[in-house]
Amino acid sequence: MSGLLGTNVITQIGILVHDIDKTSRVYADFFGMDVPPAILTDAPEIARTEFEGAPSPARARLAFFDMGSLQMELIEPDEHPSTWRNDLNEHGEGVHHIAFQIAGMAEKISVLEGKGYALQQKGEYTGGRYAYMDTAPDLKVLVELLEND
């Protein structure tokens, strides 16, 4: 494995939705699971979200379903600028990203930028951080890097 991420294990599929409560109920019924709580991402002073290089107050409500070895993440963004809001406005509901658990966020972002993949959005959450890299032109899907402490 000499890939750019140091891993090829997909840990999450992210899906943009307009109404997370409604779609969570549909998923729970379809797959015979409990409806998970929708979690609001951290406030801007904790998340320190940057979208296209500028700070953004954007937040989202998230719901997670365990689907075998990976999670389905439903994402209902607010109206502030973000990769989530932009994609939802441009492409409608559907798959937003696939995620990989990596080590060494700053270095991985740098490696990917060196290969021409721009950092689209990054932020912090309790216990870790994330970055969306604009791999869509090449891989036909957005890649999210996740690093937990």
- Quote the least distance from Cβ 45 to its own copies, whole Å: 31
Nearer Cβ to its own copies, position 47 or 132? 132
Furthest C-alpha separation in the chain: 44
Q: What is the C-alpha end-to-end distance of the chain, expressed in Å? A: 23
Question: Alpha-carbon distance 6 to 77, whole Å?
Answer: 30
- Quote the least distance from Cβ 97 to its own copies, whole Å: 10
- Is residue 66 involved in binding its own copies (CB under 8 A)? yes
- Quote the least distance from Cβ 147 to its own copies, whole Å: 17
Which residue stretch of 46-54, 76-84, 93-101, 123-131 sits at the interface with its own copies (rule: CB under 8 A)? 93-101
Question: Alpha-carbon distance 140 to 44, whole Å?
Answer: 30
Tokens describing residue 125: 């959450």
- Is residue 111 involved in binding its own copies (CB under 8 A)? no
- Is residue 139 involved in binding its own copies (CB under 8 A)? yes
Q: Among the residues of the chain, which ranges form H helices?
A: 20-31, 44-47, 83-91, 105-114, 136-139
Nearest to 130 by CA among 109, 118, 144, 116: 144
Nearest to 100 by CA among 16, 15, 9, 14: 9
- Is residue 114 involved in binding its own copies (CB under 8 A)? no
- Is residue 38 involved in binding its own copies (CB under 8 A)? no
Nearer Cβ to its own copies, position 27 or 51? 27
Residues near its own copies (CB under 8 A) are: 1-5, 8-11, 13, 15-17, 23, 26-27, 30-33, 65-70, 72, 91, 93-95, 98, 135-136, 138-141
